[in-house]
Amino acid sequence: MIKSIAAKLVLTLTLILGINMVSNADVIRLVVKEDLASCTGVAPMTCMQVKYKNSKNWELFYSPISGFKYQPGYRYVILVNRTKRTNVPADASAYEYKLKKVLRKVKMKQNTTTAWDFVLKHKWKLIQMNGVTQNDSPVYMTFDGEQKRVSGKSGCNSFFGGYDKSDGKLSFKQMAGTMMACSPELNKLEREFLTLIGDKTFKYDVAEQTLNLYQGNKLVLMFGMAPLK
């Protein structure tokens, strides 16, 4: 009889505690982004990116969500039980999170934008040639990704030709240009530039909004980004 009463009391207390825990939990709705982001908690790590009900921008989410099996490449809409913790360590979250329900899971198209896509969107003005800074240089070039053509100004003349790009290398081919008379200074600049790029192959990279062309390990041409007009 005593054991039966004790068992009933334990069951009653368990139910009460369970009800209290549920009642103390907030249910929140989260949109979870399809990729992780670098963040810093106790140490550098990766975090989910989420939006709450009133969020305009993605926010870093530092805590794990119990029961939620996140898969990169998918955007989720989920309901989560959020429970306030007691005796929280200084470096820990004030809340515990537990998945309540996955409302939506959608496969997202992956972003395939490359450095070369960035190059195609801009005009590139010469700012350095063979280690010499070019102040207010008239030389620039643009690239047509569909036609695989390059064109621009080599000084006071226009130039044009084709290009090939693969494995971090950029090759110019069949270069030609107009033949207007120029000042001696522009003639010298134009001749040096066209000789340097004419039917040549370079290694290239894009860094700090500059397009850099190398022969071997030597930087020979540097172009700065300028708006297309």
**pLDDT (0 to 100) of residue 17:** 45
List, for residues 168-214, the tens digit of each pLDDT value: 899 999 999 999 988 999 999 999 999 999 999 999 999 878 999 99
Task: Tell me the sheet residues that pair with 144.
Answer: 149
- Tell me which H or E stretch contains 81: strand 74-84
Q: Are strands 158-166 and 169-177 parallel, antiparallel or unpaired?
A: antiparallel
Ranges of the chain whose pLDDT falls below 70 = 1-24, 41-44, 90-91, 111-112, 228-229
Q: Does domain 115-226 have CATH number 2.40.128.270?
A: yes
Q: What is the pTM of this model?
A: 0.54
Query: Residue 215: which residues within 8 A CB-CB, separation 6 or more?
Result: 200, 202, 203
Tell me which DSSP letter residue 15 carries. Answer: H
Predicted pLDDT at 43: 64
Which pLDDT value is given to residue 125? 95
Domain residue spans of the chain: 25-107, 115-226
Q: What percent of the chain has pLDDT above 70?
A: 85
Q: What is the model's pLDDT at position 112?
A: 66
Q: Is the dihedral of CA 194, 178, 170, 127 positive or negative?
A: positive
Q: What is the pLDDT of residue 229?
A: 62
Concatenate the DSSP letters of all residues of 25-63 into one string: EEEEEEEE-SS-EEEESSSEEEEEEEE-TT-SS-EEE-S
DSSP 98-125: EEEEEEEEEEPPPP---HHHHHHTSEEE
Rounded to whole angstroms, the Cα distance separating 126 from 135 reads 9
Instruction: Name the phi and psi angles at 14, rounded to 5.
Output: -60, -45
The pair of structure tokens assigned to 225 is 């980004």
Residue corresponding to tokens 């134009």: 190
Q: Please, are residues 59 and 31 in contact by the beta-carbon 8 Å criterion?
A: no
DSSP per residue, 144-208: ETTTTEEEEESSSSEEEEEEEEETTEEEEEEEEE------HHHHHHHHHHHHHHTT-EEEEEEET
pLDDT, position 64: 92
pLDDT at residue 94, as a whole number: 85
pLDDT at residue number 160 = 96
